[in-house]
Chains A and B, each alone.
Chain A
Amino acid sequence: MKRFDLIVIGTGLAGLTAARTAIGMGAKVLIVGRGMGALTLFGNTVDLLGEIPPDTEMEEGISRWIASHPEHPYARTGWEGIESAIAAFQELFPPPYNFAAAGRGNSLLPTGAGTMRPTWLIPVTMAAGAAMTPAETLIVGFRGFKDFQGDTVSLHMKCRGVTLPLPRYGLEGLTAPALARLMDETSFRERLGEAIRQQMAGERFIGLPAVLGLRDPAAVLKTLETITGARVFEIPMLPPSIPGTRIFHRFREELIAKGATFRMGHPVSGAVVKDGRCEGIRIDNPPLVAEYRADRFILATGRFLGGGLWAEMERIIEPVFDIPVFQPGERGQWFGERFFEPEAHPIHRAGVVTDADLRPVDTLGRVVLANLRAAGSILAHHQAIEEKSREGIDIATGFLAAKKALAL
């Protein structure tokens, strides 16, 4: 039976961050995911707290937020915790494909729905989106590419839009990963750049769906900008997210290179618990069940989509350790009247409550398992969707959980 210093459960941004932080501290790490994690669903930019108005400085906004939200995950990490975790994230993405904030507060970036959305760290391939003005921007869609409706985006953003055929025959109906792969080919993106250039009417900005390559997106950007003479930006769209896939690949590459054991594709079916400590976990890979032992554990399995929380008829549970979950009232109170309400649905308040060290606690505030910590969106008392804080929570708590776990 294999023994590790730390086992991280979950391959989303929180789990990956925790594993990388622990590896950096010299730990022997196993990271396990039931699937690839949520980076391919939501991963594009790094939100810290989109709710803060763009003219407010981020540090000031978050410090005020923490003061008024003492149970929020950010209250555990503090601004300093967020800052150092974000800096570590940025180190993983050196130029040319780097992540940076466009200002001292949130920046507004165009989305695939044609709206403007506030965010904090922006990958270099989206940076021009924060500087664009509608009158100077051309939105380019691809004929037959269903996941990005250029007409809708340009209509809502009040820009000019064109839908181009792809510069190679027989590619209609391609998916985002297929398009991204073609963009990695120099000749393909050169021909695309040329086709865009012919459609331009003096625009200084060009918005494209976020498919500008998987391997070398900065090179794709450079080719397109050189040919068109305009600043080019990617627009986030429907899953699978190519920018999120890049983040996942970069983390996985780094973790494996530094000696982490990476398991993916099978669920953790249970834990071995003894004397208030977790001793091991079991992974189901039919017909076998593998058991892994470690000194410390981090639970970063997300909420409902990731499988970290599970809704029974009247109760929300955490399926791996069956640790206490903050309940959002009875089932009748879980959801608001309409799907798109400005207020978060009460069910999104559910999650794992922890102490200051991110150790899950019960309703009386007692630590449940001494060597277990929770990180990411499974934590209670945040509303990541409405606040726009998903990546910030993942990165800051993943980082803190690993630091605290290995501090002993």
Chain B
Amino acid sequence: MTKEEKPVPLTKLPDVCVRCATCMAACPVSRVTPRFPGPKQAGPGAQRFRSAAEASVDDWIDLCTGCRLCDTVCPAGVPISEMNMMAKAKYLDERGRTFRDWLLVRSDLFGEMAARYSKIVNPLLKKKVVRWLLDALLRIDRRRALPAYEHPTFRRWFRTRQAPKGGGPEVAYFYGCFTNTNETDVGKAAVEILEAHGLKVVVPPQRCCGIPRLGVGDLRRAREMGRRNVDFLLRTVRGLDIVFSSTSCGLMLRHEYGPLLHLPGAEELARRLFDICEYLLGLHEEGKPAATFQPIPLKAAYFAPCHLRSLDIGLPALELLRRVPGLDVSLVEAECCGLGGLYGFKKEKFAIAEEIGKDLTEAIARMKPDIILTDCEGCRMQIRHLTGLKVLHPVQLLRDALERQGEEIHRVPVESFNYLG
């Protein structure tokens, strides 16, 4: 990082905070543990005492999950989560990061390999002794199911498939690492639903968005990864819109590359990036060619991920799902699933993630749904782990609801989701 590219220091902003404590009503972490003082104290409160010249004393800063809910409720516009992130970066830069964290944030690098050898890797990751070793040596909690790898990857599937003939306007798709190697059906459903709306899908070269690096406060590497992606994707957006199906990848690409990481070209990229449901809903509302849905008589619960709330685009998935006849869909009244990406896999944070998730589990239990739908892979993992119920991305259900001439309904192979655990 050169000197002039350094993120702008936030020295003046803490005084914008009027200490109203609204953020304390939203923080999922301080609601379950007194070990984290909450966004008011950890963000602007402590910020007033922080100095670049002095060593960080924020021993609890790593307990912030980075959900960003505090930002969404603050009436004064204080960038609370960004302050926490900067403080976390400084703390971990000084104290060092563990080998586990080094490994976990590189899942994009070994994911392709793990997918290729999934027949060996998956049973291995299921083995008690392996989990015990990971737990004891790396402090990856053995009670947390590890996602299975899938072969072929989404990328390979897309490259080798028989693309439908015919033209139509093009749209690009950012699938994200998890879809590529662990939940390929989300990617397939995204492609199918876009095509059903008369679009031709292209998949540009892309890398991990880098958000796992932000989770461990590694701004420098997050920036490096972002720079590579901007290079790839700028070429695409100079002609096409890009849709994403992972709300966390989308948040990173759209709102962190520019304002937080100051990557050149980020704004141009952001202008043509859309959440897939936001994009599809737009087609429906603007009267553009859109797919029609056939009835799906199910009771569904839709959960709005924290990073979707941070994108601040309303609840487009819920609005789209309401267009499926027969689908009885309602919003889960809970604030956060608790997983926090890699956070909930870490042994020292597992209990916090579980406790936060309890509220969601209870809200779902009251609703008694047949199926749960949510846009974020982390939330899907956590809700499966907590409830044992079927959890899908909204596009998977929409894909199943597509009206197709002379074709049997293509039911989502829910049972085939081979989650390890």
Residues of A at the B interface (CB closer than 8 Å) are: 2, 30, 34-38, 40-41, 170-178, 181, 215, 238-240, 242, 245, 249, 253, 256-257, 259, 261-267, 283, 285-288, 305-307
Known: A178-B30, A238-B21, A261-B314. A36 touches B331 (CB 8 A): no
Q: Closest CB of chain A to B342's CB: distance in Å? A: 24
Flag if B25 contacts A264 (CB, 8 Å).
no
Contacts across chains A and B counted by CB atoms under 8 Å: 120
Q: Which of B25, B259, B312: most chain A Cβ within 10 A?
A: B25
Flag if A36 contacts B21 (CB, 8 Å).
no
Flag if A240 contacts B25 (CB, 8 Å).
yes
Q: Within the assembled complex, what's the spacing in Å between the Cα atoms of A350 and B359?
A: 43
Known: A36-B26, A239-B22, A240-B25. A286 touches B75 (CB 8 A): no
Q: Within the assembled complex, what's the spacing in Å between the Cα atoms of A34 and B359?
A: 26
Flag if B71 contacts A285 (CB, 8 Å).
no
Tell me if A's interface is mostly helix, strand, loop or mixed: loop
Q: Does B24 contact A (CB under 8 A)?
A: yes
Q: Within the assembled complex, what's the spacing in Å between the Cα atoms of A266 and B254?
A: 15
Query: What are 18 of the A-B contact pairs (CB < 8 Å)?
Result: A2-B282, A30-B314, A36-B72, A40-B21, A40-B22, A172-B34, A173-B34, A178-B32, A181-B32, A240-B22, A257-B330, A259-B319, A262-B315, A263-B313, A267-B77, A287-B259, A288-B270, A307-B76
Q: Closest CB of chain B to A171's CB: distance in Å? A: 6
Q: Closest CB of chain A to B317's CB: distance in Å? A: 12
Complex interface: chain B residues within 8 A of A267 (CB) = 77
Flag if B73 contacts A35 (CB, 8 Å).
yes
Q: Within the assembled complex, what's the spacing in Å between the Cα atoms of A200 and B333?
A: 37
Q: Within the assembled complex, what's the spacing in Å between the Cα atoms of A171 and B355?
A: 14
Complex interface: chain A residues within 8 A of B72 (CB) = 35-36, 264-265
9 further A-B contacts with Cβ under 8 Å, apart from A177-B27, A259-B322, A287-B255, are A34-B75, A36-B72, A40-B21, A41-B22, A178-B34, A256-B318, A263-B313, A285-B311, A287-B270
8 Å CB contact of A245 from B25, B38, B314: B25
Flag if A176 contacts B331 (CB, 8 Å).
no
Flag if B77 contacts A288 (CB, 8 Å).
no
Complex interface: chain A residues within 8 A of B24 (CB) = 175-177, 240
Q: Closest CB of chain A to B257's CB: distance in Å? A: 8
Q: Within the assembled complex, what's the spacing in Å between the Cα atoms of A215 and B22?
A: 18
Q: Within the assembled complex, what's the spacing in Å between the Cα atoms of A3 and B24?
A: 34
Complex interface: chain A residues within 8 A of B312 (CB) = 263-266, 283, 285
Q: Within the assembled complex, what's the spacing in Å between the Cα atoms of A265 and B20?
A: 15
Flag if B18 contacts A305 (CB, 8 Å).
yes
Flag if B271 contacts A181 (CB, 8 Å).
no
Known: A305-B18, A305-B75. A256 touches B259 (CB 8 A): no
Complex interface: chain A residues within 8 A of B18 (CB) = 305
* CB-CB nearest in chain A for B318: A256
List 9 tightest A-B contacts by C-beta distance, closest first. A35-B75, A265-B72, A36-B73, A240-B25, A287-B258, A287-B267, A173-B34, A261-B314, A286-B259
Flag if A253 contacts B331 (CB, 8 Å).
yes
Flag if A41 contacts B20 (CB, 8 Å).
yes
Flag if A264 contacts B32 (CB, 8 Å).
no
Q: Closest CB of chain A to B261's CB: distance in Å? A: 11
Complex interface: chain B residues within 8 A of A175 (CB) = 24, 30-31, 34, 38
Flag if B331 contacts A256 (CB, 8 Å).
yes
Flag if A264 contacts B34 (CB, 8 Å).
no
* CB-CB nearest in chain A for B34: A173
Complex interface: chain A residues within 8 A of B315 (CB) = 256, 261-262
Complex interface: chain A residues within 8 A of B359 (CB) = 181
Which chain B residues (107-153) contact chain A, with CB distance < 8 Å?
A: none
Q: Closest CB of chain B to A44's CB: distance in Å? A: 14
Flag if B314 contacts A263 (CB, 8 Å).
yes
Mask of B13-48 contacts with A, CB within 8 angstroms, 1/0: 000001011101111001110100010000000000
Complex interface: chain A residues within 8 A of B330 (CB) = 257
Q: Closest CB of chain B to A219's CB: distance in Å? A: 13
Mask of B353-375 contacts with A, CB within 8 angstroms, 1/0: 00000010010000000000000
Complex interface: chain A residues within 8 A of B31 (CB) = 175, 177-178, 181
Complex interface: chain A residues within 8 A of B76 (CB) = 35, 307
Flag if A286 contacts B258 (CB, 8 Å).
yes
Known: A41-B20, A175-B30, A178-B34. A288 touches B75 (CB 8 A): no
Mask of B68-103 contacts with A, CB within 8 angstroms, 1/0: 000111111100000000000000000000000000
8 Å CB contact of B75 from A37, A176, A257: A37
Q: Within the assembled complex, what's the spacing in Å between the Cα atoms of A288 and B312?
A: 11
Q: Within the assembled complex, what's the spacing in Å between the Cα atoms of A41 and B259?
A: 29
Complex interface: chain B residues within 8 A of A178 (CB) = 30-32, 34
Q: Closest CB of chain B to A245's CB: distance in Å? A: 5
Q: Closest CB of chain A to B305's CB: distance in Å? A: 14
Complex interface: chain A residues within 8 A of B333 (CB) = 249, 253
Flag if A174 contacts B285 (CB, 8 Å).
no
Q: Closest CB of chain A to B152's CB: distance in Å? A: 35
Which chain B residues (210-264) contact chain A, with CB distance < 8 Å?
A: 254-255, 258-259
